[in-house]
Structure 1
Amino acid sequence: MTGPEKIVVVHDYFGIRGGGERVALSLAHNFGATLMFGYRTSETFEDDMFSADIRDLGLPSIFQKPGLRAAALALRFQASRHTVQKYRTRIFSGVSAPFAAPEPGSGRNIYYCHTPPRFLYDQKDHFARHVRGSPMRTRALEWFRTAYEAAFGRMDVVVANSQTVRERIRTFLGRDAAVVYPPCDIDAYKWIGQDPFYLSTARLSPLKRVDRIVDAFIRMPDKRLVVASQGDDFEMLKRRAADSPNITFLGWVGEERLRTLMGQAIATLYVPIDEDFGISPVESMAAGKPVIGVAEGGLRETILPGETGLLLDPAFGVDQLVEAVQAMTPGRALAMRSACEVRSVLFSEARFIAGMHAVVGK
């Protein structure tokens, strides 16, 4: 049921079990809100994670592919502005969802920004190298940027998910933002023990640099790596590690299995390029497991070097990653357990909801 007092949370789509998806689900649950999104796939959260009041815009699968998805979703959300306008408070999460924001004055538009679109701003050159250019694509990107910035301008309040993203917003969009860190269900992650393996949960795409993690363990046949994720590089990385029986690829796993793996690992590895925030390291710390990360992006805000993990130089190579894994012995990881668990409390769901209530209540 919609009405003047009802809140709507508008999120891009549910295609993986990522931090942005968790934010949208937490907001919808804790605010008793309608949850609107572009589409859902079988690789995301289980049905019982979703509230009864959902609005699936049903983007056809042909448009769900990278390269088409953002623009197709933007058009679908843009066409839904009249529906979103019926709600007094609207919270937008994602890159395309803000296109659904009505003009200011008829309610409040609140944008929880995970990052300004990286393919338009800070990682524009990276995406240009990986996608074939054409005059049509250039025009589409120009349209998307103009429309995104117009949607951004319709926001009454902007919230960044980290100081890293706050700086990107200032740099590329010329506006300040409040910072409310995303939620981690810290009570769901527990230290179980130490089985002889290290864990990677990052999506398998170039910006996550899981290829370097795989290459490091190819050089360390005596150490085991479990990769619990999937992505565009899945098949390529499996072929790369075909002769390394110490490396196991599980694909996406369910929530319970993920938590068990986290609780059993020696430590986790997470080394993306200038990550927005990165919920995986927080989940790892909640399970009492230190993180081998990189000193850039949101990881500088979550991991305490030498206390809850190790941070590599942003220009690290495979050699440095090998050294870090060898340094993170079971004994050293165990010694970091308490500090990890304490650190994770700063990113609890309770703190997130308190922060968002302060924003919504203004």
Structure 2
Amino acid sequence: MKFNPDIYIDTMGYAFTLPLFKYIGKCDVGCYVHYPTISTDMLSKVSDRRATYNNASFIARSKVLSYLKLLYYKLFAYVYGLAGSCADVVMVNSSWTLEHIRTLWGKDVSTVFPPCDTRAFLNIKRKDVELKLIISIGQFRPEKDHALQIRSFAKFLQKISNDKRRCYKLVLIGSCRNEDDSKRVGSLKVLAAQLNINEHVEFALNVTFKELKNHLSMATIGLHTMWNEHFGIGVVECMAAGVITLAHNSGGPKIDIVTEWRGAPTGFLADSEDSYATLMYDIFSMGNNEKTEMRNRARESVEARFSEKAFETRFIKCMSAVIEESKD
């Protein structure tokens, strides 16, 4: 109350701070939403009684608990919408997030793709190695669905003759935030052993940026399996590094990232063990010229759309009206 800002911008997803600054602080309010606190997908999963990472199986099995949770979600979504409606400027990081926020908040929304340090990845020089690498970049959270990657890779290896399998490896690169993540890595190692592919699967935990770039320089395929990821910076990083992307056919990767550029594809999309395995095989079967052309298109597309410069230009344009109003 002693020092009110002229403009308040939330970039952390704290929607319930917006009415505080709007009506108590009398500020112009803007926000940049990375992920909705609640989404229409979450409502549909509870309504359909589907067990998933945000809907425990014991709730999904119970009509009463599912009804009560759905009621709570709907109430929360309503209040969340009221808080969001206080914003004068609403920016989101992807088309997927845009549709959810527009539905929940009832506001005009602008898409401002997040700033990716594309230069660091565009400068990576490709290395010719005998080993044929598939890499995955992402924290070991349940929604990343690393198990799907391992099962898909196992099916892919079944398509490869025994004498050539030794050349292929899946490297899962990511950070472990806590004990739960460490246990999750342990269960993934058990899965790889059960599928008899543990010698083909490597876990690169908490790697340095230098190590990450080294993996990217040698990889042929960048693998992503999260359903309905809101954006997917890891996908952008792979494309910028010249790694052919194989991402989930949903959310940000489908709508915004792995799209056509200059009338040709920049990567591939899949949604099941079979489709992932088939596309892995197809990618490794591509000719060198075809791979190079796709890599170049992907690199050009991410530099044009997801660089820090592109973010700055779009962000300033969206905020200009509020800034001018604040000056007056």
TM range (shorter): 0.7 to 0.9
Structure possessing the higher relative contact order (Cα contacts under 8 Å, 6 or more residues apart)? 2
Partner of 1:267: 221
Tell me: CA distance 1:251–1:143, structure 2 relative to 1, closer, same or farther (3 Å): farther
CA displacement at 1:228 relative to structure 2 = 0.5
Equivalent of 1:318, from 266, 273, 277?
Answer: 273
Q: Are residue 99 (structure 1) and residue 35 (structure 2) matched?
A: no
One-letter code of the match for 2:5?
Y
Equivalence map 1:140-159=2 (5 Å): 145=77, 147-159=79-91
Q: Are 2:85 and 2:107, in contact at CA under 8 Å, matched by a contact in 1? A: no
Name the SS of the counterpart of 1:271 in structure 2: coil
User: What percent identity do the matched residue pairs reach?
Assistant: 23
Counterpart of 1:86? 4
Provide the residue aligned with 2:117 in structure 1: 185
1:207 maps to which of 137, 143, 167: 143
After TM superposition, the score normalised by the length of structure 2 is 0.74
Given the alignment, which residue of 192, 215, 230 partners 1:241? 192
* 2:267 counterpart letter in structure 1: G
Aligned partners of 1:194 and 1:266 also within 8 Å: no
Residue of structure 2 equivalent to 1:304: 259
- The alignment yields a C-alpha RMSD, in angstroms, of 2.8
Cα distance in structure 2, aligned partners of 1:264 and 1:282: 17
Q: CA separation in 2, counterparts of 1:206 and 1:103?
A: 35
Matches for 1:49-68 after TM superposition, within 5 Å: none
Query: Residues 161, 251 of structure 1: CA spacing in aligned structure 2 closer, same or farther, 3 A cutoff?
Result: same
Contact persistence 1:166–1:176 (CA under 8 A): no
Contact 2:5 2:27 in 1 (8 A): yes
- In the alignment, is residue 160 of structure 1 matched against residue 92 of structure 2? yes
Q: Which amino acid in structure 2 is aligned with residue 163 of structure 1?
A: S
**Structure 1 position 103, deviation (Å):** 3.6
Note if 1:117 corresponds to 2:37.
Answer: yes
What is the rounded CA distance, in whole Å, between the counterparts of 2:209 and 2:17 in structure 1? 30
Which has the higher Rg, Structure 1 or Structure 2? 2
Letter of the structure 2 residue corresponding to residue 86 of structure 1: N
What's the offset of the Cα at 1:297? 1.4
1:217-263 Cα offsets, whole Å, 9 max, x none, are: 23425420110014543222122113411101112323332233222
Distance 1:128 1:351, change over 3 A: closer
Structure 1 residues 204 and 182, CA gap change in structure 2 (3 angstroms) = same
Q: Would you say how many aligned residue pairs link Structure 1 and Structure 2? A: 274
Alpha-carbon distance, 1:339 to partner: 1.0
Matched residues in 1 for 2:53 and 2:169: separation? 32
Verify the 8 A CA contact 2:80 2:104 in the aligned structure 1.
Answer: no
The runs of 5 or more residues in structure 1 that have no matched partner are 1-81
Say which of 329, 333, 352 aligns to 2:291: 333
Q: Distance in 1 between matches of 2:56 and 2:274?
A: 26
1:358 maps onto 2:323 in alignment:
no
Q: Report the CA distance between 1:161 and its aligned residue.
A: 1.1
Q: 5+ unaligned residues in a row in structure 2: which ranges?
A: 46-51, 60-64, 158-164, 322-328
Residue 198 of structure 1 pairs with residue 134 of structure 2:
yes
Letter in 2 for 1:177: V
